[in-house]
Structure 1
Amino acid sequence: MIQYPNVVDGCFLRYEEEHPSFRPYTGLIMHAAGPVPDADQVRAQVAARIERMPTLAWRVLKRGGRTVWELDPHFDPHTHVHEVRLDESTSLDEAIDDLLCLPMPKQSPRWAIWLIHGYSDDEYVLFYRSHHAAQDGQAMMDTLTALFGTQKWITPPAATSAPADRRPWWQRIPVRAALQNLKEQVEALRPTLAWSPQRPPTGKARVQSASVPMGWLRETGKALGASSNDICLAALAHAMRQWMPEQWIAPGQRGRDLHVCLPVSLREPEERFMVGNRLSAARIPLSFWEDSTPARVTAISRATAPAKTEETRRVLRAQLRLPEWLVYRILQQSTGSRNGLDVTGLVRLPEQLAIGSDPIDKVVVAQFLHDDHVMGVAFLAYEDKCVVSVTADHALDDAGNLAFMWASAVKDMWQHHTAASSHETTQVPQTLT
């Protein structure tokens, strides 16, 4: 495989080096019921399947100011699987937060798995963590599917990459892409709703999560002419209106919209198993103050529609040909400012996962928080459920359970905007831990 770095990979590495408090890590918490397996059993399963995801043996690092990808000559998948037994004084939330924030070794592939147990007599957890310079969200989903999927594995075609274009960057960027990038940077300067808790961030976080049937999202989206992802965002706006105390909103902010920075996957089929990032982002207003659900959904659908077109994807891919120093300035702006809310799009795990013969019942996303970014929200579809996870600093503890409020908002939207009464059910949102 020819592995060229993506400009985003280098930006995340540089920003972490220059801002030690910033660690762009993401984790996936896999809950399983039953007796705890031996850690060597987990190591054996990972090692036996590592060839399904060969990019896990590659490492990304800076050499003389350049970003390079190279195969780790000493790679041993067994050393990337660890075990943690918790005592009565440590909760699972605390353990996840501590592990998520651990610095990653620079000279090895930037991912790890922990078998966590002792916090419950009924279940245990596998916690997968990776560096954003090494994997985007789609790559993380592919990793879990490769290592723990239960369906027959079909070997993907070898990843390839075109030779690097040696022309100056200003000759490689289409005019439309440059103009679109300028337009987006101007829009990013427009103010978003400023809010903050009444006490400073503690630096410690917990993950709240809740689930709803995927059918609720699909049926509501069909009734309102929107995608499941749009319904997730509309429910989030509604839930945050209920969740956020009025005194958290800065003076003079009422009426100002709340924006989210929504990732957009740019992976082509032939790039499915390539290293690094193949994504960009779109800034989306949530119609935060809108009281009408149909009007809010319509506005969100209109805002997300351009990001779903192939033309926009081509423009965004062209923007990734910009020089690293310029993309780095954009990253600094987005991470250094309070740009509304950090949110993922609705990503999917395509099949059931298992550890040996133990099925994985729930998968929850955990996000690293930094500086003034006190909360992140993620949506994940697994089996027939959509799970929302809210990674929040303890400074937000007094505001209530936003994840459960989101699930309740989805249920209300489904009940009020789907006419098919035959789909009525007594299911209620499930709070996950």
Structure 2
Amino acid sequence: MTTTVPSPNAVDGCFLSYERDEPRFRPYVGAVLEVTGSCPGPGPVREQIAERVGRMPSLACKVTRQGRRTVWELDPGFDPRRHVHEIVVEDGLPSLGRAVDALLGEPIGAGAPRWGVWLIHGYSPDGYALFYRAHHAAQDGQAVLDALTALFGVGPAVPPRQAMDDAPGGRGTGGARDPLAWVRNIPARAIAQNAADTVRGLRSTLTWAPHRPLTGRTRLLSAAVPVSWPRDVAKALGATPNDVCLAALAEAVRDWVPAEWRARPGRGRELHVGMPVSLRRPEERFAVGNRVSAVRVPLSYWAKSPAARVVAVARATRRVRTEGMRRVLRAQLECFPDWLVYRFVRQSCAASSAVDTSGLLRVPRRLAVGADPVEGVVPTLFLHGDHLFAVSFLSYQGRVRVSFTVDRALDDVGDLAALWAGAVERLWRDVTVGPADPLGPAGHARPAGHAGHASHSDSYASRTGENS
């Protein structure tokens, strides 16, 4: 099965060039796996990864130069055991949070495939963590989840499909083809909509002036809610769980922004997110590099009610999820020159472009390290430019987890993750139970089988003793 491509695509190249031009930029994506059990030490972890790495062949690929070209190729000296690192910490859960925050800013060397697993233990006798990190040039969010499933998934390996590059008449070099035939079949309406979105994307989104310099150092905040909450709201309002997560994000930001932060000029300006759209075909599951684009989506920040905001967000995202739009975005990924894509990426480093988000991703299988179950998965993103925070959403084993990567200059502002979890819970109660009687002594009724907010949303920072 072919696992390499002749050269990084335009998005891959952008992240490589951006890192070269901004040495402090850390374009890494990943996830913290919270494992229950007594830590086995790095040896068994290395052996499990070495045994399973063949399930994700692209993990053996690295970026090299061939003459004037940058290319992906298999690393002839690849040893997956060297990609596992050990960090021993003490002082209980607070030290886990500090270790994770420190790793967010650590570079991964360019001489080998740019991913790694950090085993963090010593903070608890019956728990430990694995922090999987990968360079965004090599892996997008879906590829990160595929890597986690390959290395730690319970059950048999996912069988590879025939690569399209190897199929007769495919898009590779092995068959006769018309390279523009699939582009010609893109609906004109989708092209026009995409062009309009691009023009609108030049307008500034809503942003604020915190009146303090950003540090460039980041911190991870996370919280979780039952997966049934966004699912129930989505079903009732004709939306998707991702729409509910985004609407709750807008409400959380409204509660989080201090009154003294003045919004930058622009009356009625809307808050937008750059919503990722996966362009990965089934046969590209093990391909190295990015198969993703993004479309700017308004969050109806000024909506009168949370439910109305969900409906408005659903209306905005519905057109993005069409196959026609995916084909337009795929055409851009494959046909736009590198310099133009790089210009778009660098433009996005301004906070006035849009909030960075992963969208709602799902880990489809149970994960484990040996016999030790992975109880929680916390996704991680990165900050760039003058963004205040980035946000990720992830569904795993009956819970939806949100994580915010926040600049440390904002440590005293508040816990965005806890605010998001509270916004989801209020939405769920309003939609499934009905608004609370303001004259009643108990507020919202609590249906049988559901505990209160505090037990269902556990902030990552507060669990590690790092909450402001």
The CA deviation at 1:299 is 1.2
Q: After TM superposition, list the pairs within 5 Å mapping 1:22-421 onto structure 2.
A: 22-88=25-91, 91-161=95-165, 162-163=171-172, 176=188, 182-250=195-263, 252-253=265-266, 255-320=268-333, 321-418=335-432
Work out whether residues 135 and 277 of structure 1, in 8 Å CA contact, stay in contact via their aligned partners in 2: yes
What letter is aligned with 1:379? Answer: F
* Cα 1:66–1:39 shift into 2, 3 Å: same
Cα RMSD of the aligned pairs, angstroms, is 2.6
Cα offsets for 1:99-143 (capped at 9, x unmatched)? 232222222111000101123344211000000000011100010
The answer to whether 1:425 aligns with 2:450 is yes
SS in structure 2 of the partner of residue 308 of structure 1: coil
The CA deviation at 1:370 is 2.7
Partner Cα distance (1:359, 1:432) in 2 = 21
Cα offsets for 1:399-430 (capped at 9, x unmatched)? 21111111111111111112599776224332
The normalised TM-score by structure 2 is 0.86
What letter is aligned with 2:247? Answer: A
Cα offsets for 1:242-273 (capped at 9, x unmatched)? 11112223354553111111110011111112
For structure 1, the residue ranges without an aligned partner over 5 or more in a row are none
For structure 2, the residue ranges without an aligned partner over 5 or more in a row are 166-170, 435-445, 461-468
Partner Cα distance (2:258, 2:322) in 1 = 37
* Cα 1:93–1:254 shift into 2, 3 Å: farther
Partner Cα distance (1:108, 1:427) in 2 = 47
Work out whether residues 347 and 379 of structure 1, in 8 Å CA contact, stay in contact via their aligned partners in 2: yes
Partner Cα distance (2:450, 2:194) in 1 = 46
Partner Cα distance (1:242, 1:253) in 2 = 20
Partner Cα distance (1:130, 1:205) in 2 = 17
Work out whether residues 9 and 67 of structure 1, in 8 Å CA contact, stay in contact via their aligned partners in 2: no
What letter is aligned with 2:451? Answer: T
What letter is aligned with 1:92? Answer: L
Partner Cα distance (2:47, 2:290) in 1 = 28
Partner Cα distance (2:112, 2:195) in 1 = 37
The normalised TM-score by structure 1 is 0.93
Work out whether residues 59 and 113 of structure 2, in 8 Å CA contact, stay in contact via their aligned partners in 1: yes
Counterpart of 2:440 in structure 1 is none
Partner Cα distance (1:166, 1:277) in 2 = 25
The answer to whether 1:12 aligns with 2:15 is yes
SS in structure 1 of the partner of residue 209 of structure 2: coil
Moved more, 365-374 or 203-212: 365-374
* Cα 1:107–1:280 shift into 2, 3 Å: same
Work out whether residues 224 and 400 of structure 2, in 8 Å CA contact, stay in contact via their aligned partners in 1: yes
Cα offsets for 1:361-390 (capped at 9, x unmatched)? 111012222331221110000010000011
SS in structure 2 of the partner of residue 202 of structure 1: coil
Identity across matched positions, percent = 50
The CA deviation at 1:93 is 2.8
* Cα 1:294–1:62 shift into 2, 3 Å: farther
Moved more, 188-197 or 90-99: 90-99
Cα offsets for 1:268-321 (capped at 9, x unmatched)? 111112111111001011111112123211211111111111111111101112
Partner Cα distance (1:392, 1:65) in 2 = 38
